Structure 1
């Protein structure tokens, strides 16, 4: 499996973490991202810092999306706001039997990619805390597991990777991967967590541990979860597990993590709020359900975006 070449489109924190873990295990990895990170990685390798290690990992890096050519596995890790534009550039360079996985926030990116690429795209649920600590430097803060579909949507006779192959590839890198027959429900489970944490972390500029240590904030987070679950149920989506327990587990396992929405606001970048709390608001409207907490959080983050862009 080390001969399988992997391309990561969107070498931010998530892309660099999973690309770095694979590369550290000897898998050929090409990271495609912004010049500031690519230049650092070409010069010094990718720096991957975890609780137990601090490694410089040799990787191929490029700013040109054409560098995906020949990759058997393509991990799309761009922001939700960049999905269609990335797909438009990516389409001409994918190998015929390449497997495309969407490692993105929200629940609508894989279908949007699939429509734009006109080929199967596997939604992948990502549970990892990480951040870019500097050019070409990713810091791991907690967890790291993935959930992929049992059926990745390709014909049996297709010579490309199977779900089992992908699990084995990541297992070699020490990344646990669960195969699920209900990835839509799993994706909504992750969306529920994002809706609970992301906006409030961004608005308060606070990590998860300090957020949930405040009873008033914790109650609000759980209220957001209730709204999300009600919308999912109205859509006929079964969200597995106990989402409220999952919310509490996040604070316990990643207390120092701030949300990606918080990181975006700190850097003056557009957030994915319309694909997180905003998606729940839109789906709630579609089924005639009010979602006042999600609507308020979406509006407040949009206001902060506008203020920092002014």
Structure 2
């Protein structure tokens, strides 16, 4: 859905917190839209380069490693993994004021609840990144395919669409963001943990037994989502596996990439979100609980 909001008349200074795959793609889009990008990272790199099918895009972002001396900006894009959200409080304290919109481009279903306590004066805009990308080295991101952000319809969502106009990303305004968040979660509950636990890419789903397990995981999560009020069902389960057909056998998932890099896994915000919701509603979710238990048992040095 396109926005009718007028594109900003002059370039904006936009902060992107996080130097991973999604942060890199969003920074690239902001630069293409004509804005000045402030990239807030933990590990330094000299230059941000986004690899795409059409070639490399070099992003002249200002790379900063400390929030000291920074002032609030109109837009902050929070792209760190959800389990790292707490560590971004110093950045948010410096960058997010009463006139700031913080776009939370993370997995999970509770974006606002996670971030609002860290930026109490700012407006929090949840976002779902429909982007397949991989951080292959510090400052270098490989974008495989996909280029959309889904946000709730309304003033803030329309304003974000205007900010990103011309940047090569499609901002979709959702009237039922709860359903969209659960649909995105369904796409993650099987592919992410299975690839991370087996240390295999999408070729693992060529195994009929693995594919059957994946379908059962997604179907179980859909039942939990429906109980929570999301409009999801069997068609959404089919859609997840139709979407997986777009991946080549050597594509991976964000959780697999994290395990290969020795980073913490995002299981608590994916299968954990399903399990917590199931417990709250009294709905069974044994398969997602199993994935959660196994992912929690993975050692960081076991890749």
TM-score when normalising by structure 1: 0.87
Which residue number in structure 2 is paired with residue 81 of structure 1? 83
How far did 1:71 drift? 2.3
The reply on whether 1:148 has 2:151 as its aligned counterpart is: yes
Q: How does 1:69-148 map to 2 (within 5 A)?
A: 69-87=71-89, 89-118=91-120, 119-148=122-151
The reply on whether 1:165 has 2:152 as its aligned counterpart is: no
Is the Cα contact below 8 Å between 1:281 and 1:295 reproduced in 2?
yes
The reply on whether 1:294 has 2:296 as its aligned counterpart is: no
The reply on whether 1:185 has 2:179 as its aligned counterpart is: yes
Change (3 A) 1:308 1:48: same
Q: Could you tell me which of 247, 267, 270 is aligned with 1:273?
A: 267
How far did 1:106 drift? 1.0
- What are the Cα deviations for residues 274-295 of structure 1, in whole angstroms up to 9, with x where unaligned? 1110121121112112211111
Q: Could you tell me which of 7, 15, 18 is aligned with 2:15?
A: 7
Change (3 A) 1:233 1:7: same
Distance 1:281 1:68 in 2: 39
How far did 1:121 drift? 0.7
Question: What is the alpha-carbon root mean square deviation over aligned residues?
Answer: 2.1
Which residue number in structure 2 is paired with residue 63 of structure 1? 65
Distance 1:128 1:301 in 2: 23
Moved more, 295-304 or 115-124: 115-124
Q: Could you tell me which of 38, 46, 71 is aligned with 1:40?
A: 46
TM-score when normalising by structure 2: 0.89
Is the Cα contact below 8 Å between 2:39 and 2:62 reproduced in 1?
yes
Q: Could you tell me which of 241, 255, 266 is aligned with 1:248?
A: 241
Distance 1:165 1:135 in 2: 31
Distance 1:115 1:94 in 2: 12
* Contiguous gaps of at least 5 residues in structure 1: 153-161
Higher helix share: 1
How far did 1:98 drift? 1.3
Which residue number in structure 2 is paired with residue 228 of structure 1? 221
Distance 2:189 2:294 in 1: 13
4+ runs deviating over 4 angstroms = none
Which residue number in structure 2 is paired with residue 157 of structure 1? none
Distance 2:192 2:170 in 1: 24
Is the Cα contact below 8 Å between 2:92 and 2:118 reproduced in 1?
no
How far did 1:84 drift? 2.6
Which residue number in structure 1 is paired with residue 170 of structure 2? 176
Distance 1:4 1:40 in 2: 22
How far did 1:94 drift? 1.7
* Contiguous gaps of at least 5 residues in structure 2: 1-7
**Paired residue total:** 293
Q: Name the SS of the counterpart of 1:148 in structure 2.
A: strand
The reply on whether 1:237 has 2:230 as its aligned counterpart is: yes
